[in-house]
Structure 1
Amino acid sequence: MTRAVVTSGLLAAITLALALAEASAQQRTPQQPVQPQQAAAPQPGRAAQPVADAGSAVKDSDVVAKIGGSDVTAAEVRSAISFLDPRQQAALARDPALLSQTVRAILANRLAYKEALSKKWEEQPAVQAQIARVRESVIVDGYLKSVTAPPESYPSEAEVKAVYDANASALLLPRRFRLAQVLIALPKDADKDADEAARKKLAEALKKLKAPGADFGKLARELSEDPASAEREGELGWVGEPDLRPEIRSQVTGLAKGAVSEPVRLDDGWHVLKLLDTEAARQRTLAEVRDGLVQRLRAEKAEANRRAYVNELLKQSPPVLNEIALSRLIEAKTESR
């Protein structure tokens, strides 16, 4: 079952729901000085009518929703999710409500399909032509994948090691910093009174944060106006140096471990950071990147095999093209625009 056949409308619905949810979340979330490093741990989705017990693993055959006489199985939901990009999949994992919307999109797709069939929509010439094109594409794509897939033994360990050695510079993990912060909120368009009030709060916070023996975590809970990090005593976690905003990077890279930075003004307010720890840059080990290298090498090999196979087919049955007719076809199409 391919993306083109099954889920073009469904994917559009899911993607739109995710985009709207993401936009809404961005409006509610204070600006952070770093880019997130890891997605939150997956949470279980909400099923309309689950068959499996809540505490058991969900099998592909389990029914997670019903509409009329039609069931939606866990396998169908997983298949739909597999076509989303990693960012969208992470969003679904973080928010069970989005997973529920995905199931609703599947149900809506099912209803629309049933109605279309009842009106014999598939018998329309334009629809039949499109189905024929998709059918041909699915058959050809599946066949070529089957005849051009590299053998299971590819690549060998020696080939993987050679690629690893040749790409050593690209496999470098940058220096990382473990940071905590206190945020004194101040919108970019704040008026003079708000600015003065924020600066007063900032001065008081700095005095406490830089006092000998100050407990940064406790003070972050008390003073920070970023609820998310305040709950974690200001902790932002480990952040790679390239992922730091330039304004933050210039402060953090010069700090000693355990030191507190000078205030950094960003669009959402004043950030005061503490450097909790530093991890030096290092090269990823072969064990860390082996699976990714194998996947890349197999994909490249399959693509090379595909090109060679198609070229051989063309040699065996050379095509004859009417270049004049083709040029006229292109000209006619251009003029009709």
Structure 2
Amino acid sequence: MFKIAQTATVATVVALAAAPVMALAQTAVPPVAPQRAAPAPVKPKPAPQPVAAAPQAPAATQGLASSRAAASDDVVAKVGSTNVTADELRAYVAALGPREQTAFAKDPALLSQAVRMLLANRLVLQELQAKKWDQQPTVAAQLERVRENAMVELYLQSVSTPPANFPSEDELQKVYDANRAALLMPRQFQLAQIFIAAPKDADKATEDKAKQELDEALRKLKAPGADFMAVARTETDTGDLGWLAETQIRPEIRSQVMGLAKNAVSEPIRLDDGWHILKLVDTKASYTRTLPEVREQLVQQIRAERANLMRRAYLAELQKQHPPVLNELALSNLFEASRK
């Protein structure tokens, strides 16, 4: 029996597995007017204070460590003395980004993984609290920095979230029109393959055996009514490489495939790992994806870009009203001292 291409062989045929990433035309998104600065999000503190000795976790971890009582029908998971309730899980999912929420909706198994991660976190939290590890001054100081950074990030998100009705249909259409070139799907080929392993650094015996297998495969393929898949079928593989974009196929393979008619079989192609015989099962012409096809992705990208612009505008205005002053000499002396 001849070998069918498996994962490693597919990687040999495929030059680039990732689909092209669309980059939005920057001019397509309307500019953001600077916002008036709100009060500084975090008030500096003279020195981080140790966490008071108490059974509950510090603010940075208190959410995960919560073990509030809940009705039995509201508990979706439990570990040790803490529960994960349906409300907590809904809040967890709601705090995720649009892409993560979409992934949860498409694959419920991801939700189970998330719950397991929460339970693992709570086990660790129970142990560190029992040891009062979080009350050590150095740990408390680090937790305070984490808390402040989280507060700043959440606040910046709150002041840089685009309106719910953004983008409008008109704005969405303009961005789509400006990015038509990036939305072009290249020609695609559905391929099947017979692969005969013969590394170029193989000894003569291995090379001779591979050549015999190749000749036998070609003889069977040239027989009247030959079935390509039957020639190389094994018990677990079919030899179907599926649909591959033109840009995903290695140049040595692509040049052969592009000259084939539908259902035609290529001549043997020698690559570093062995011999490849390809069959062109079908072809899809290149086309530009329609707005309905890319609407969700496009809206997410436009909103993310607008949020980034709003954040930068807010920070620029805040620093304009409160210009930072740096003592460059003191800074240079600080680094100079650290080298000694």
Which TM-score applies when normalising by structure 1? 0.69
**1:256 aligns to what SS in structure 2?**
coil
Q: Which residue does the alignment assign to 1:316?
A: 321
Displacement after TM superposition at 1:181 (Å): 0.8
CA contact (8 A) 2:9 2:195 kept: no
What SS class does the counterpart of residue 31 from structure 1 fall into?
A: helix
More helix by share: 1
- Does residue 207 in structure 1 map to residue 219 in structure 2? yes
CA distance 1:100–1:155, change in 2 (3 Å): closer
**Pick from 322, 325, 334: which aligns with 1:329?**
334
Look up the SS of the partner of 2:275 in the other structure: strand
| Matched AA of 1:248 | I
Map of 2:160 onto structure 1? 148
Are 1:30 and 1:268, in contact at CA under 8 Å, matched by a contact in 2? Answer: no
- 3-state SS in 2 of match to 1:181: strand
Equivalent residue in structure 1 for 2:195, among 158, 167, 183:
183
Contact kept? 1:174, 1:241, Cα under 8 Å: yes
Structure 2 CA distance for aligned equivalents of residues 293 and 100 of structure 1: 29
Q: 1:62 aligns with which of 71, 76, 92?
A: 76
Which residue number corresponds to residue 3 of structure 1? none
Identify the residue that residue 164 of structure 1 maps to in structure 2.
Answer: 176
1:113-134 Cα distance to aligned partner (Å, 9 max, x none): 3222222111122211111111
Superposed, which structure 2 residues align to 1:117-132 within 5 Å?
117-132=129-144
Change (3 A) 1:295 1:71: same
Q: Secondary structure at the match of 2:215?
A: helix
**For residue 76 of structure 2, what is the amino acid of its counterpart?**
D
Find the counterpart in structure 1 of residue 47 from structure 2.
none
Distance 1:99 1:293, change over 3 A: closer
Q: Measured at CA, do residues 188 and 129 of structure 1 come closer, stay the same or move farther in structure 2, by a change above 3 Å?
A: farther
- Which shows bigger deviation, 184-193 or 308-317? 184-193
Which 4+ stretches in 1 moved above 6 angstroms? Answer: 98-105
The one-character-per-residue Cα deviations of 1:113-169 (angstroms, maximum 9, x if unpaired) are 322222211112221111111111111111111122111111111211112222221
- Matching residue's letter, 2:261: A
Corresponding residue number in structure 1 for 2:147: 135
Q: Is the contact made by 2:75 and 2:83 (CA closer than 8 Å) also made in structure 1? A: no
Aligned length: 268
Match of 1:259 among 264, 276, 288: 264
Q: TM-score, structure 2 length as denominator? A: 0.68
Flag structure 2 segments of 5+ consecutive residues without an equivalent. 1-5, 20-72
Percent of aligned pairs with the same amino acid? 56
Residue 285 of structure 2 is aligned to residue 280 of structure 1: yes
1:177: how far off? 0.3
Q: Contact 2:80/2:123 (CA < 8 Å) preserved in 1?
A: no
Per the TM alignment, residue 67 of structure 1 is displaced from its structure 2 partner at its CA by: 4.4
Change (3 A) 1:69 1:186: farther
Larger radius of gyration: 2
Conserved? CA contact 1:31–1:267, under 8 Å: no
Q: Tell me which residue corresponds to 2:66.
A: none
Cα deviation, 1:8-51, whole Å, max 9, x if unaligned, reads xxxxxxxxxxxxxxxxxxxx95321226579xxxxxxxxxxxxx
Q: What SS does the corresponding residue of 2:263 show, helix, strand or coil?
A: coil
**5 Å matches for 1:72-111?**
75=89, 109-111=121-123
The RMSD of aligned alpha carbons is 3.4
Matched, 1:245 2:245: no
Query: Is 2:170 the partner of 1:192?
Result: no
Q: Which amino acid aligns with 2:336?
A: E
Match of 1:113, SS? Answer: helix
Where do 5+ consecutive residues of structure 1 fail to align?
Answer: 1-27, 39-58
Q: What SS does the corresponding residue of 1:151 show, helix, strand or coil?
A: coil
> How far apart are residue 277 of structure 1 and its match?
1.0
Question: Which residue identity lines up with residue 165 of structure 1 in the other structure?
Answer: D
**CA 1:120–1:99 in structure 2 vs 1: closer, same or farther (change >3 Å)?**
same
Matched-pair contact (CA < 8 Å) for 1:210–1:260: no
Distance apart, 1:189 and its partner CA: 4.1
Highest relative contact order (Cα 8 Å, sep 6+), 1 or 2? 2
Partners of 2:18 and 2:120 in 1: CA distance: 35
Q: Is the 8 A contact 2:261 2:280 kept in 1?
A: yes
